[in-house]
Structure 1
Amino acid sequence: MLPARTLPVSPACTAVSEVTSRLWRVERLRPRTIAGYAIGSVGTGGFGTLPGLMLLYYLTDALAVPAAVAGLVVTGAKVWDVVIDPFIGYGSDRDLVRTGSRRRFMTIGAVAIPVFFALTFAVPAGASTVAASIWVLVAFLLAATAFSMFQVPYIALPAEIAPTYDERTRLISWRVATLAFAILLFGAGGPVLRGETSSLSGYLTLGVVAGLVIGAGMFVASRVAPRGARAAGPTAPLPPGAQAAAPAAAVSALGAFRIAVAEAVSTLRRSQPFRVLLTAFFLQALATGLMLAAANYVATYVLESDLAVSLLFAALIAPALLVMPLWNRLARRVGKERSFVLASALFALATLCMVPLAWAPGAWVYLPTALAGVGYAGMQALPLAMLPDVIAHDARTTPGVADRGGAFSGVWTAGETTGMAFGAGLLSLVQWVTGYQSSSAGVTPEQSSAAIDGIALSFSLVPAVLVALSLVALVRYRLRRGDIDVPTEESAAHERP
Structure 2
Amino acid sequence: MKKQQGIKTWRKVMYGVGEISNTLIFTVVPLFLMFYLTDVLGIPAGWAAVVSFAGNIWDAITDPYAGYKSDTCRSRLGKRRPFFLYMALPMAAAFGLMFSIPTGETMAVKLILIILAYMLLLVLSTFFIVPYLAYGMEIDPTYDGRTSVSAWRMLFSIAFGLVGATIPSMIWKSADVVSQGFSQMAWIMAIPIAISPLFAFFSGKEPKSEIKPKTKTQRTSFFKDLRRAVKNKDFNKGLAIYVFSWMGIAVLQLLLIYYVKYVLLMYDEYALIAGIIFGLAIAFLPFWVWVSNKFDKRKAYIWGAALFCVTLCCLALPTDFVRSIVWVLVPLLGIGVSALHVMPSAIVPEAIDRAIAADHTTGSGSYTGVMTFLTKIGNAAFSALIMGILGWCGYISTAEEVFVEQPAGAILAIKLLLVIMPLIVFVAGMIVCAKFKIGREDAKQEGTAQKEG
Global fold match (TM > 0.5) = yes
Size of the aligned set, in residue pairs, is 446
The structure with the larger Rg is: 1
Structure 2 residue ranges without an equivalent (≥5): none
Q: Does the C-alpha gap of structure 1 residues 227 and 369 become closer, same or farther in structure 2, counting only changes over 3 Å?
A: same
Q: Deviations over 1:323-368 (max 9, x none)?
A: 1111111111211112111111111111012111556452522322
Q: CA deviation at 1:50?
A: 0.3
1:464 and 2:423 are equivalent in the alignment:
yes
Q: Secondary structure at the match of 1:307?
A: helix
Q: Secondary structure at the match of 2:317?
A: helix
Among candidates 297, 301, 305, match of residue 266 of structure 2: 305
**Do 1:40 and 1:219's aligned partners in 2 also have CA atoms closer than 8 Å?**
yes
**Equivalence for 1:327:** 288
Q: CA deviation at 1:489?
A: 12
CA–CA distance in 2 between the matches of 1:289 and 1:170?
24
**Do 1:351 and 1:369's aligned partners in 2 also have CA atoms closer than 8 Å?**
no
Q: Does the C-alpha gap of structure 1 residues 222 and 177 become closer, same or farther in structure 2, counting only changes over 3 Å?
A: same
CA–CA distance in 2 between the matches of 1:129 and 1:402?
49
**Equivalence for 1:214:** 193
**Do 1:169 and 1:328's aligned partners in 2 also have CA atoms closer than 8 Å?**
yes
Q: Deviations over 1:273-308 (max 9, x none)?
A: 221222232222222111111122122212323332
**Do 2:210 and 2:362's aligned partners in 1 also have CA atoms closer than 8 Å?**
yes
Q: Deviations over 1:244-287 (max 9, x none)?
A: 97979xxxxxxxxxx424312311202x2221222232222222
1:43 and 2:21 are equivalent in the alignment:
yes
Q: Deviations over 1:34-71 (max 9, x none)?
A: 11111112111111110101100111111111101101
4+ runs deviating over 4 angstroms: 96-99, 241-248, 357-361, 485-491
CA–CA distance in 2 between the matches of 1:409 and 1:209?
30
**Equivalence for 2:225:** 263
Q: CA deviation at 1:453?
A: 1.8
Q: Secondary structure at the match of 2:190?
A: helix
Among candidates 295, 311, 314, match of residue 350 of structure 1: 311
Q: Does the C-alpha gap of structure 1 residues 363 and 52 become closer, same or farther in structure 2, counting only changes over 3 Å?
A: farther
**Do 1:114 and 1:211's aligned partners in 2 also have CA atoms closer than 8 Å?**
yes
Q: Secondary structure at the match of 1:468?
A: helix
1:383 and 2:344 are equivalent in the alignment:
yes
Alignment of 1:175-254 (within 5 A): 175-195=153-173, 199-224=178-203, 226-227=205-206, 239-240=208-209
Q: CA deviation at 1:442?
A: 3.8
Structure 1 range deviating more: 156-165 or 358-367: 358-367
Q: CA deviation at 1:98?
A: 7.5
**Do 1:80 and 1:141's aligned partners in 2 also have CA atoms closer than 8 Å?**
yes
**Do 1:319 and 1:373's aligned partners in 2 also have CA atoms closer than 8 Å?**
yes
**Equivalence for 1:418:** 377
Structure 1 range deviating more: 325-334 or 457-466: 457-466
**Equivalence for 2:10:** 32
Q: Deviations over 1:410-431 (max 9, x none)?
A: 1112223333333422320221
Q: % of aligned pairs identical?
A: 22
Q: Secondary structure at the match of 1:126?
A: coil
Q: Does the C-alpha gap of structure 1 residues 90 and 371 become closer, same or farther in structure 2, counting only changes over 3 Å?
A: same
Q: Secondary structure at the match of 1:154?
A: helix
Structure 1 range deviating more: 352-361 or 423-432: 352-361
Q: Does the C-alpha gap of structure 1 residues 315 and 241 become closer, same or farther in structure 2, counting only changes over 3 Å?
A: farther
CA–CA distance in 2 between the matches of 1:210 and 1:363?
34
**Equivalence for 1:368:** 329
Q: Which amino acid aligns with 1:117?
A: F
CA–CA distance in 1 between the matches of 2:362 and 2:129?
18
Q: Secondary structure at the match of 2:73?
A: helix
CA–CA distance in 1 between the matches of 2:241 and 2:318?
26
Structure 1 range deviating more: 69-78 or 454-463: 454-463
**Do 2:244 and 2:425's aligned partners in 1 also have CA atoms closer than 8 Å?**
yes
1:405 and 2:364 are equivalent in the alignment:
yes
Structure 1 residue ranges without an equivalent (≥5): 1-16, 229-238, 249-258, 492-497
**Equivalence for 2:254:** 293
CA–CA distance in 2 between the matches of 1:53 and 1:371?
20
Q: CA deviation at 1:382?
A: 1.1
CA–CA distance in 1 between the matches of 2:443 and 2:270?
41
**Do 1:391 and 1:405's aligned partners in 2 also have CA atoms closer than 8 Å?**
yes
**Do 1:183 and 1:317's aligned partners in 2 also have CA atoms closer than 8 Å?**
yes
CA–CA distance in 2 between the matches of 1:406 and 1:135?
31
| TM-score calculated relative to the size of structure 2 | 0.91
**Do 1:113 and 1:215's aligned partners in 2 also have CA atoms closer than 8 Å?**
yes
Q: CA deviation at 1:101?
A: 3.2
1:169 and 2:147 are equivalent in the alignment:
yes
Q: Secondary structure at the match of 1:268?
A: helix
CA–CA distance in 2 between the matches of 1:76 and 1:160?
32
**Equivalence for 1:74:** 52
CA–CA distance in 2 between the matches of 1:82 and 1:242?
30
Alignment of 1:88-107 (within 5 A): 88-95=66-73, 100-107=78-85
Among candidates 285, 289, 297, match of residue 336 of structure 1: 297
Q: CA deviation at 1:200?
A: 1.3
Structure 1 range deviating more: 278-287 or 436-445: 278-287
Q: Does the C-alpha gap of structure 1 residues 62 and 93 become closer, same or farther in structure 2, counting only changes over 3 Å?
A: same
| TM-score calculated relative to the size of structure 1 | 0.84
Q: Which amino acid aligns with 2:275?
A: A
CA–CA distance in 2 between the matches of 1:441 and 1:355?
29
Q: Does the C-alpha gap of structure 1 residues 207 and 241 become closer, same or farther in structure 2, counting only changes over 3 Å?
A: farther
Structure 1 range deviating more: 363-372 or 121-130: 363-372
Q: Which amino acid aligns with 1:86?
A: P
